[in-house]
Structure 1
Amino acid sequence: MRFNTRWALAVTAPLLACAALSACTTLEGETYAAADFAGVRKIDAHVHVNVADDAFLDQAAADNFEILSINVDYPAFPSISDQAEVAHHYAEANPERFHYATTFSMQGFGQAGWADRTNALIDAEVRRGALAVKVWKNIGMVERDAEGHLIFIDDAGFDPVFSRLADTGVPLIAHQGEPYNCWLPLDQMTTRNDRLYFSAHPEYHMYLHPEMPSYQDLMARRDAMAARNPNLQVVGAHMASLEWNVDEAAKFLDAHPNAVIELAARMAQIQYQSVRDHRKVRDFFVKYQDRILYGTDLTLNPGEDTQAFRQSAHQVWSSDWTYLATADTQRVEDIDADAKGLALPRSVIDKIYYANARREFFSRPSR
């Protein structure tokens, strides 16, 4: 793997500073309070704005957020073209606050011309402002080739697309697999929302479907893709599907200098761990402060109650801030426990909430 100087500089600079000081303020600096929430500039690097309604951006402005809206090939969402239309509208109307990632269809994968058409689509979206490209868990769990075999993310058919992204400096946001809970019996799942969802949707509960790929196989395929594309910026969505164990997330980051992770929709799994070993989870965030992006997976779809959405978005953003930035304790119903905040130093919070996303999505290296 080619040495990645971005991470070398990001990691060694704080360490050198610590060596020169008797107390390392980078690691144990001043923290924010709950009251600082609205005053700090922030980016939510994983949301879905699927309707041309200003409610999302209005709440983002009220809470001092920029947002990265991620288009995705998901059947419960509007079509890819409809998502793109909304993204184009807001990218033009409010480019200071709204940003977006594009995606592509798997239709025709493996056939002549698919990669060229996909690259042309991505190039066109990048010209209109797209900052990244999203691949979803349908790759590895749904999409099949002409022989009926599942298509995995390390399939050679993706090579021309991923090479093009690497050459142009466009990040790949990769969501492979489900939460680890999906492969566990209901009574072993760590969060209430997963237990409720998979009990209501047994067709998606992989523990009941041994004929489908294992969790370990999906992670290995994703890791193989990241390793064979060392110049591709990989953003591991949802804690890179390693939300269940910060040690595993650390191994992923150590093995792949071209990768970062984001936190969307996995805060409860992180809190589950910190309730049991607070120091370990806090140390993970401090050590990998340059490799973690804040995200929520907040979604506004057509027909939703926009006032209720705004209240929910504010609650999620405020709760996450309390957990990451302060030492305050709050009740987390999904894990049936009180979770003490990590009280990360201001310098770490500023990276996770803003600087890392700016670097990943707005600073394309020259090729």
Structure 2
Amino acid sequence: MKVQKLLFPFVFAVLFCSCESDYYSMDDFSKVEKIDAHYHIYTDKNNSLEQARKDNFKFFDINVYLGDCGEIVEVHHNLKQLATENPDEVAFSTAFCLDGWDDSAWVDNTIAWIDQCVADGANSVKVWKNIGMEFRNKDSVLIMIDDPQFDPIFKHMTENNIPLIGHLGEPKNCWLPLDEMTTKNDSSYFARHPEYHMYQHPEFPSYEEQIAARDRMLEKNPNLTFIGCHFASIEWSVDELAKFFDRFPNAAVDMAARMGQTFYQSKEDREKVRNFFIKYQDRFIYGTDNSDHGTNKESLQKSLHEKWLRDWEYLTTDNEMQSTLINGSFQGLKLPKEVVNKIYLGNYRKWYKSL
């Protein structure tokens, strides 16, 4: 009897430690190798990498066509240099220009540019929301991502195993009045950028039309590796995102700039969100969408560290949390180590075949 009493605390302690060893804690934050797989660097200063080294992060830097073809080229050369100097810490994508869209040589020129960028070290190609929301052809018709002129581009990328990164459409909040949006970061962003607040522009395609065009493009290119930025603009519903994953097995998503919507859904049904992350654990890639323009070094590094630490707490603990992104409190997901490792690095390596 005495032996049993002596053994019980020991057995309980062993079982408890074994269970807890399946999860990370806040103390593990800087010990675990991670990547911010949606980042933008527009400077040759080392501000971002300084903080990344402290917090055990790598960077995947995404080039974007914002309407200036010269900027794409300049950023490409800067990122190529940065990755050459820091090959174990930095990888990068490219983007293509839409100037000359109506020229018969546009397709061949674009494929040549993509091939040159890949030869320079780029591991993927990014398309942005100006496709579907801004860019028009010579007849003033809005160009959508399923336009047939993109077909040979995506066919070439498929044949050469070049992933496509897509920020297509916007969060569903974009089509709501500011005071009806579910997250503060969305209402703040669209208040600052009314040109992209589609509630004010009913003449543009609806949210549903944007998503449908993206899905038609994927149906035409079933073997194309696709990474949907910002939860593939299906950030508002884990149920709908599950349908997207089931429908398109060659698609993953990054989590950049949409954590507020995840917090919001966790507040409503935490177990549903947690089970969703565990079930589709191979499809998520961590990122922030932060930008470094070489200014305000201390502010940038402080902001990076705080955001990285907040997301780590949400994904690895079951703490009761609050965020400036939403109203009210929510509980962390406390995902198993295996899932956390995939989100923070393993899935990036799987989908981009890099670093």
Cα deviation digits, residues 283-307 of structure 1 (max 9, x gap): 11001001111111011124x2122
Q: Match for 1:312 among 299, 303, 323?
A: 303
Superposed, which structure 2 residues align to 1:341-360 within 5 Å?
A: 341-360=332-351
2-side partners of 1:113 and 1:78: how far apart? 18
Contact 1:77 1:301 in 2 (8 A): no
2-side partners of 1:34 and 1:78: how far apart? 43
- Please state if 1:97 is matched with 2:89: yes
The residue number in structure 2 matching 1:124 is 116
1-side partners of 2:27 and 2:120: how far apart? 37
Single out whichever of 250-259 and 69-78 deviates more from structure 2: 69-78
Contact 2:67 2:97 in 1 (8 A): no
Q: Match for 1:82 among 52, 74, 78?
A: 74
Contact 2:348 2:354 in 1 (8 A): no
% identity of equivalent residues: 46
Cα deviation digits, residues 197-237 of structure 1 (max 9, x gap): 32344332111211110000000000111111011100000
Cα deviation digits, residues 165-216 of structure 1 (max 9, x gap): 1011110001101111110112210111222232344332111211110000
The residue number in structure 2 matching 1:144 is 136
Contact 2:69 2:97 in 1 (8 A): no
Contact 1:191 1:269 in 2 (8 A): yes
What is the DSSP-based 3-state SS (H/G/I as helix, E as strand, rest coil) of the residue aligned with 1:148?
coil
Contact 1:91 1:98 in 2 (8 A): yes
- Please state if 1:43 is matched with 2:16: no
Quote the offset at 1:43 in angstroms: 1.4
Quote the offset at 1:77 in angstroms: 11
Quote the offset at 1:81 in angstroms: 1.7
Cα deviation digits, residues 10-34 of structure 1 (max 9, x gap): xxxxxxxxxxxxxxxxxx9811101
2-side partners of 1:281 and 1:327: how far apart? 13
- Please state if 1:212 is matched with 2:196: no
- Please state if 1:277 is matched with 2:269: yes
Quote the offset at 1:272 in angstroms: 0.3
The residue identity in structure 2 corresponding to 1:86 is N
CA separation of 1:221/1:122 partners in 2, compared to 1, >3 Å: closer, same or farther? same
The residue number in structure 2 matching 1:333 is 324
The residue number in structure 1 matching 2:14 is none
The residue identity in structure 1 corresponding to 2:30 is A
1-side partners of 2:122 and 2:83: how far apart? 9
CA separation of 1:90/1:358 partners in 2, compared to 1, >3 Å: closer, same or farther? same
What is the DSSP-based 3-state SS (H/G/I as helix, E as strand, rest coil) of the residue aligned with 2:188?
helix
The residue number in structure 1 matching 2:222 is 230
The residue number in structure 2 matching 1:3 is none
What is the DSSP-based 3-state SS (H/G/I as helix, E as strand, rest coil) of the residue aligned with 1:107?
coil
Contact 1:48 1:297 in 2 (8 A): yes
Computed over aligned residues only, the root mean square deviation of the Cα atoms, in angstroms, reads 1.8
The residue number in structure 2 matching 1:188 is 180
What is the DSSP-based 3-state SS (H/G/I as helix, E as strand, rest coil) of the residue aligned with 1:157?
helix
What is the DSSP-based 3-state SS (H/G/I as helix, E as strand, rest coil) of the residue aligned with 2:60?
strand
Single out whichever of 50-59 and 74-83 deviates more from structure 2: 74-83
Cα deviation digits, residues 118-158 of structure 1 (max 9, x gap): 11111111111101100000000011011100000001101
2-side partners of 1:33 and 1:231: how far apart? 38
Superposed, which structure 2 residues align to 1:59-74 within 5 Å?
A: 59-74=51-66
Unpaired segments of 5 or more residues in structure 1?
1-27
The residue identity in structure 2 corresponding to 1:53 is K
1-side partners of 2:164 and 2:345: how far apart? 19
2-side partners of 1:204 and 1:168: how far apart? 34
CA separation of 1:201/1:361 partners in 2, compared to 1, >3 Å: closer, same or farther? closer
Normalised TM-score (structure 1) = 0.89
CA separation of 1:77/1:351 partners in 2, compared to 1, >3 Å: closer, same or farther? farther
The residue number in structure 2 matching 1:24 is none
1-side partners of 2:263 and 2:241: how far apart? 15
Quote the offset at 1:76 in angstroms: 9.2
Normalised TM-score (structure 2) = 0.91
CA separation of 1:201/1:174 partners in 2, compared to 1, >3 Å: closer, same or farther? closer
Contact 2:267 2:331 in 1 (8 A): yes
- Please state if 1:321 is matched with 2:312: yes
1-side partners of 2:239 and 2:68: how far apart? 33
User: How many residues are aligned here?
Assistant: 337
Quote the offset at 1:341 in angstroms: 0.7
Cα deviation digits, residues 31-88 of structure 1 (max 9, x gap): 1101101111111110001111111111111111111000001259981122112201
1-side partners of 2:84 and 2:354: how far apart? 20
